[in-house]
Structure 1
Amino acid sequence: MSDEIDIYEQYGPATHEVTSGVWNTWGALDPHVIGHLVNPSFMGGPRWPALRQAHVISRRDDALLVASDGLADPMTWNDAEPSNGFEVEVYGIGERFDGDDTMGVAAHWLGRTVMTLSNTVASHGIVFGRQLAHWGTLTIGLGGIGVPGAYEEKYVDGEGNVVAILGLDDAEIPSSADGPLSAIRLVNAKLLTVAEADFCVQSGTGQQEAREELGRRFAEQGGVLRSWLDRESVV
């Protein structure tokens, strides 16, 4: 990789216009972002395409969206054409809550889910999007999310992790956006109950088929892309 600053200056504004347009169409995009005083990549964390690690917040009256902002920043490669970074941005949708300003969202389970997932994606780089394209959906375990105590039994497994299913699609949010250099996959993360996560592993139909079945059940339930802690488990 080389010349990240030059290509970011050239294509970064157009990239932000594309992704911000999606989040601002869904709700009201907050002008403030969740950022870091010291870039985590300078302290051993995963490297994002343009070394810019941020998360944005969009709000509706009844829902809150948190999304990565930087995984699709323009970058060059030594062995391929320039692209919109890792060609993905990840997001989650949850309920509004008291104190859901920038700092409140950063400390909330939804914000922590998306931020943890973002760094996991960054550690896999361009391979993540290719794996998702191949399998359709993926499941991932995430630790340290801080689900409220009243919901721990429902969502947190014996090892202290939650599981999210990645890549569900619904008309509420487009599945991709056309970046100036390449398409950007917009990847939803939906929190699974422990029973739903176990179903993916123990259903006997194979994990891919189990994830597809969950997707069908979520479509019947409604709110496919939303992580409501109070929703009924579909398993």
Structure 2
Amino acid sequence: MSLFLKWKQKKQEKEAERVLEESISKRKDYWNTIGHVDGDVLTHLLNPMFFGGPAWPSGRQTFIRVQKTETVILASDGLSDPFQSPEEKSRKQGKGLEFYIECDDESLRGPLSDIQDHWAFDLLYQMSQNAAAHPNMLELFMKHDILSIEFTDLDVPSHFVNENGEIGVLLGVQSPSVSASLSLPYESIKLISMKLLTPSELEYVREQGAQGRRQLAETFQLSKSYHITLTKRESLI
């Protein structure tokens, strides 16, 4: 490799490192305007991508906790890192999105080391891994705004699980306190909420499709529960 190519490669590496650090800082700064962000992040001792799991844009698979007065937010922190591989698209903020779940479960205020055993973290983790594996989930949100997804074998509160063990989640319900987008060095990303559905709400979404998802999101807005997963609530359907 020529000296010029080595210099160019070194310059690109320094730029990538700078943008990565700025992306991490901007996300943390934003969440600090919403509540108290822990100094440490939730992550793995051994990165799942080295054991067949989906790769995240920079390799970082981390999550943060944001404590508010009445609720706690868990958010992914790495899906919108810039791609580090030269084969990936340049000047892109990774997958272009991050997910979060806001919940009134007080056990989420315990030691950070215990949070990875909580159902809300498990739900967020599974959603984030789905997004990391998807070729372009951002396009789906740009087209539909509100989406839904189903999971099984998650230990969420029992009244959110139907008779077949299926769990519904509505994605993208607008929050009155959390912005729908965030400006990062290369581009703006979407911040996407996750809200657990009751079995009857899930069935409604299955039957009505996109229209049902929009109507249900509007109903949550009118009820003032918005995107928040309340551990004890009546079904709205």
TM-score (norm 2): 0.89
Find the counterpart in structure 1 of residue 80 from structure 2.
72
CA distance in 2, matches of 1:6, 1:142: 40
Check if 1:146 corresponds to 2:160: no
Check if 1:213 corresponds to 2:212: no
Contact map agreement 1:33 1:56 (CA 8 A) in 2: yes
Structure 2: gaps (5+ residues): 1-8
Partner of 2:215, secondary structure, is helix
Find the counterpart in structure 1 of residue 140 from structure 2.
131
Find the counterpart in structure 2 of residue 162 from structure 1.
167
Q: Give structure 1 regions of 4+ aligned residues with deviation exceeding 3 angstroms.
A: 2-8, 76-81
Contact map agreement 1:5 1:50 (CA 8 A) in 2: no
Alignment partner for residue 191 of structure 2, among 169, 181, 186? 186
Q: 1:6 to 1:191 in 2, by over 3 A?
A: farther
Partner of 1:65, secondary structure, is strand
The one-character-per-residue Cα deviations of 1:129-183 (angstroms, maximum 9, x if unpaired) are: 11111111110012332124xxx1x211233231111111122100000110111
Q: 1:42 to 1:214 in 2, by over 3 A?
A: same
CA distance in 2, matches of 1:56, 1:5: 26
Partner of 2:106, secondary structure, is coil
The one-character-per-residue Cα deviations of 1:9-54 (angstroms, maximum 9, x if unpaired) are: 1201211122112211111001111110110000000000011101
Check if 1:32 corresponds to 2:34: no
Moved more, 3-12 or 137-146: 3-12
CA distance in 1, matches of 2:15, 2:96: 15
CA distance in 2, matches of 1:137, 1:164: 11
CA distance in 2, matches of 1:220, 1:226: 13
Alignment partner for residue 172 of structure 1, among 172, 177, 185? 177
CA distance in 2, matches of 1:81, 1:58: 30
Aligned residues: 226
Find the counterpart in structure 2 of residue 10 from structure 1.
18
Check if 1:225 corresponds to 2:227: yes
Find the counterpart in structure 1 of residue 94 from structure 2.
85
Partner of 2:49, secondary structure, is helix
Q: 1:23 to 1:144 in 2, by over 3 A?
A: farther
Contact map agreement 2:63 2:76 (CA 8 A) in 1: yes
1:185 positional shift: 0.5
CA root-mean-square deviation: 2.0
1:7 positional shift: 4.9
- Identity percentage over the alignment? 25
Write the letter of the residue equivalent to 2:180.
S
Partner of 1:174, secondary structure, is coil
